[in-house]
Amino acid sequence: MSFSVDVHVAERDVRLHLTVAAGETVAVLGPNGAGKSTLLGAIAGLIRPDSGRSELNGTVLFDLPDGPGRGIWRPAHQRGVSLLAQEPLLFPHLSVLDNVAFGPRSTGATTAGARETAARWLGEVDAEPLAARRPAELSGGQAQRIAVARALASDPGLLLLDEPLAALDVSVAPAVRRMLRRVLVDRSAVIVTHDVLDAYTLADRVVIVENGRISDEGIPAEVFDLPRGAFAASLSGVNLVTGIRRGHTLLTAEGDEITLAADGTAPEGARLSLAVRPAAVTVTVEQPTDLAVTRVCARMIDLEPRGDVVRVRSSVLAADVSPQQAAQLDPAVGSPVWFSFPASAGTLYPSARAEDPSGN
């Protein structure tokens, strides 16, 4: 294992455990205030947790036991960790070349050696022609490329990326994302992001953080196609319903009974999750005549226009319908209606992973 961290910050109610294998990129996603920035700050040495331990390639970054005692705390500049923030934060008085050379120089390289390393990394991020420019002469995408080169030029054992594409124009972000995918190959990295596309294109593994705890983790397709929590489901754009199998129904904690068109081989009483995309869900005022569908009767809460479709919301499922269908359903807002879909459109699966490394 290349990197591991256990961190506890009492004031923010954060208790997290994360590992990153050699050459692995891990994407960390979660709602605002979940603990993602606290995790990065503790790894980078910017936040001192109340207790915990972290090790990178055999070197202890910190070891802070519970209770009195100072423990081990390695300062940020001695950790072999590079942090790439949302903003490039380049030194305005230095050229692009000297900005990138700053890392190697700070670790003892000669001026000539540092500039040689910087030139190589500028080539890696497709920015060699920018070497003589100052940061004020760069576009947002160019500046972020330089920031990536600077972060990697010091050859960190672990690269931390905090929303690296968030400040970029949507027309620029795809090219920078492709560049990151290339330079992160075989490099240990942790990327905090709100973008599912970042997770799919850049990460080998995804970790979901909610309320200061890891709520799910796995390969991107597993986490987003078969989500365990509402946050991951919202990111992937699917309805997620969790409940207990009772005969041919899924009984939710709120008391809703979803009649299942197919329930597989799950035993009675098994805790199951059901995922289905809103576009696959049909809404009718009357009970569906085809009883070989998964269906539930729920109160329609609202109709929400979304471009070419209208989102029909209830306490159980959401459906995307045409404006014409929405107009027909409008008088039924606030009343019970039927949401249904064929078995092939939904996925029914155990709510817990077969192996849950987060311990949840």
360 pLDDT tier (thresholds 50, 70, 90): very low
Residue-range definition of the domain harbouring residue 283: 254-350
Residue 179 has pLDDT above 50, yes or no: yes
Distance of alpha carbon 189 from alpha carbon 194, whole angstroms: 16
Q: Does residue 141 belong to any structural domain of this protein? A: yes
Q: Does residue 238 belong to any structural domain of this protein? A: no
Structural domain total, the chain: 2
169 and 88, same domain (yes or no): yes
Q: Does residue 199 belong to any structural domain of this protein? A: yes
144 and 280, same domain (yes or no): no
223 and 335, same domain (yes or no): no
In angstroms, the Cα distances linking 272 to 237, 253, 255, 296, 338 are: 19, 12, 15, 16, 21
13 and 150, same domain (yes or no): yes
- Does the model's pTM come out above 0.85? yes
> Is-contact 190 161, C-beta < 8 A?
yes
* pLDDT digit string, tens, across residues 266-322: 889 999 999 999 999 999 999 999 888 999 999 999 999 999 999 999 999 999 999
pLDDT of residue 69: 63
Q: Does residue 358 belong to any structural domain of this protein? A: no
Weakest mean pLDDT among 71-80, 154-163, 347-356: 347-356
CA 100 from chain center: how many Å? Answer: 28
Q: Buried (b) or exposed (e) across 287-319, using 16+ Cβ within 10 A?
A: ebeeeebbbbbbebeebeeeeebbebbbebbbb
188 and 277, same domain (yes or no): no
Instruction: Give the CATH number of the domain where residue 211 resides.
Output: 3.40.50.300
Instruction: Give the CATH number of the domain where residue 327 resides.
Output: 2.40.50.100
223 and 311, same domain (yes or no): no
159 and 60, same domain (yes or no): yes
Distance of alpha carbon 204 from alpha carbon 187, whole angstroms: 11
Q: Does residue 29 belong to any structural domain of this protein? A: yes
Q: What percent of the chain has pLDDT over 90?
A: 83
61 and 207, same domain (yes or no): yes
Weakest mean pLDDT among 26-35, 65-74, 103-112: 65-74
Distance of alpha carbon 145 from alpha carbon 170, whole angstroms: 15
Q: Does residue 275 belong to any structural domain of this protein? A: yes
> Is-contact 317 284, C-beta < 8 A?
no
SS3 content of the chain, % helix, strand, coil (to 5): 30, 30, 40
pLDDT of residue 203: 96
Q: Does residue 83 belong to any structural domain of this protein? A: yes
pLDDT of residue 202: 95
pLDDT of residue 166: 86
Residue 137 has pLDDT above 80, yes or no: yes
Distance of alpha carbon 11 from alpha carbon 9, whole angstroms: 6
Average pLDDT, the chain: 92
Q: What is the mean pLDDT of residues 206-216?
A: 95
Distance of alpha carbon 335 from alpha carbon 320, whole angstroms: 18
98 and 10, same domain (yes or no): yes
Nearest-CA neighbor of 54 among 2, 126, 95? 2
Q: Does residue 247 belong to any structural domain of this protein? A: no
163 and 298, same domain (yes or no): no
* pLDDT digit string, tens, across residues 40-59: 999 999 999 999 999 999 99
* pLDDT digit string, tens, across residues 23-41: 999 999 999 999 999 999 9
32 and 110, same domain (yes or no): yes
196 and 269, same domain (yes or no): no
pLDDT of residue 54: 98
